[in-house]
Amino acid sequence: MQFAALAERAERVAATDGDIETTLGLADLLADAGPAAGAEGDGSTDGLPVVTRFLLGRVFPAHDTRTLDVGPALCREAIARAAGPNVSAADVEDRLAERGEIGTVAAEYDLGGQRGLAAFGEGRDALSVAAVDERLRGLAAESGDGSESRKRDALFGLFTRCSSSEAAFLARLVLGEMRLGVGEGTVRDAVAEAFLSTDQESDGDDASDDDNSDGPALRASDEAAAAVERALQVTNDYGRVAVRARDEGTEGLRAESLRVGRPVQAMLAQAGTATDAVDSFGAVAVETKFDGARVQVHYAPADPGSDGGDAAESDGDGLGPRLYSRNMDDVTEALPEIVEYVSERVDVPAIVDGEVVAVDDDGDPLPFQEVLRRFRRKHDVERMRETVSLRLHAFDCLHADGDDLLDEPLRVRHERLREVLPDATADLTLADDPEAIAAAERAALDAGHEGVMLKSPESTYTPGDRGRDWLKRKPDVETLDAVVVGAEWGEGRRAELFGTFLLAVRDEGAERPNDRGTDGGPTGDDGDLASAGYATVGKVATGITDEALADLTERLATHVVDESGTTVAFDPELVVEVGYEEIQTSPTYSAGYALRFPRFVGVREDKGVDDADSLTRVRRLAGDG
Ligand code: AMP
Domain boundaries, the chain: 1-56+180-256, 65-177, 268-473, 479-621
Neighbours of 489 (CB within 10 A): 17
How many angstroms is it from 12 CA to the middle of ligand 1?
42
The answer to whether 501 and 567 have CB atoms below 8 angstroms apart is no
Residue 80 to residue 89: CA distance in whole angstroms: 5
- To test the ligand 1 pocket, which listed residue (331, 355, 456) has its Cβ within 8 A of the most ligand atoms? 355
| Burial (Cβ within 10 Å: 0-12, 13-18, ≥19) of residue 183 | exposed
- Helices 184-196/48-55 angle, 10° precision: 150
CA of residue 477 to ligand 1 center, whole Å: 22
Query: So what's the pLDDT on residue 623?
Result: 84
| Site to substitute for ligand 1 among 324, 465, 472, 474, most atoms within 8 A of C-beta | 472
CATH topology of domain 65-177: DNA ligase i, domain 1 (1.10.3260)
CA of 5 to the centre of ligand 1 (A): 44
- 371 Cα to the center of ligand 1, angstroms: 14
> Closest ligand 1 atom, CA of 288?
19
- Return the CATH class of domain 479-621: mainly beta
Q: What per-residue confidence (pLDDT) applies to 243?
A: 97
Residues annotated as catalytic are 289
Q: 227 alpha carbon to ligand 1 midpoint, in Å? A: 28
Q: How far is the CA of 287 from the centre of ligand 1 (A)?
A: 10
The three-class DSSP label of residue 414 is: helix
Q: Of the residues 289, 427, 471, which should be mutated to test ligand 1's pocket, given the most ligand atoms within 8 Å of the CB?
A: 289
Nearest CA to ligand 1 atom 11: 294
Question: Residue 321: what pLDDT?
Answer: 95
State the pairing for strand pair 560-564/567-570. antiparallel
- The pLDDT value recorded for residue 164 is 93
Q: How far apart are CA 132 and CA 11, in angstroms?
A: 18
Q: In whole angstroms, how far apart are CA 517 and each of 498, 559, 571?
A: 22, 10, 7
Distance 268 CA to ligand 1 centre (A): 7
Residues lining ligand 1, judged by CB closer than 6 Å?
266, 268-269, 287-290, 294, 355, 395, 426, 453, 472
- Ligand 1 atom closest to residue 293's alpha carbon, by position in its atom list: 12
Predicted local distance difference test score (pLDDT) of residue 311: 44
Q: What is the pLDDT of residue 558?
A: 93
Collapsing DSSP to helix, strand or coil, 510 comes out as coil
Residue ranges, the chain, pLDDT below 70: 36-44, 113-124, 199-214, 303-317, 476, 511-531
Distance between CA 173 and CA 181 in Å, rounded?
14
Contact assessment for residue 488 and residue 508, using Cβ atoms and an 8 Å cutoff: no
| The pLDDT of residue 213 | 58
In terms of phi and psi (left: phi > 0; alpha: psi -120 to 50; beta: otherwise), the region of 223 is alpha
Residue having the nearest C-alpha atom to atom 6 of ligand 1: 269
Written as one letter, the residue type at 248 is E
What superfamily in CATH does domain 268-473 come from? DNA ligase/mRNA capping enzyme (3.30.470.30)
Give the nearest ligand 1 atom to 455 CA.
Answer: 20
Which residue(s) pair with 294 in the sheet?
Answer: 355
Phi and psi at residue 481, to the nearest 5°? -100, 110
Tens of pLDDT, residue by residue over 177-223, are: 998 988 899 999 999 999 998 755 444 444 444 445 567 888 888 99
What is the model's pLDDT at position 45? 78
Atom of ligand 1 nearest to the CA of 287: 19
Give the residue, out of 270, 294, 296, 371, with the most ligand 1 atoms within 8 A of its beta carbon, to mutate for a pocket test.
Answer: 294
Residue 426 CA: nearest ligand 1 atom is 19
Q: What is the pLDDT of residues 239-296, one digit of tens each?
A: 999 999 999 999 999 999 999 999 999 999 998 988 889 999 999 999 999 999 999 9
**In whole angstroms, what is the distance from residue 226 CA to residue 192 CA?**
9
Atom of ligand 1 nearest to the CA of 266: 10
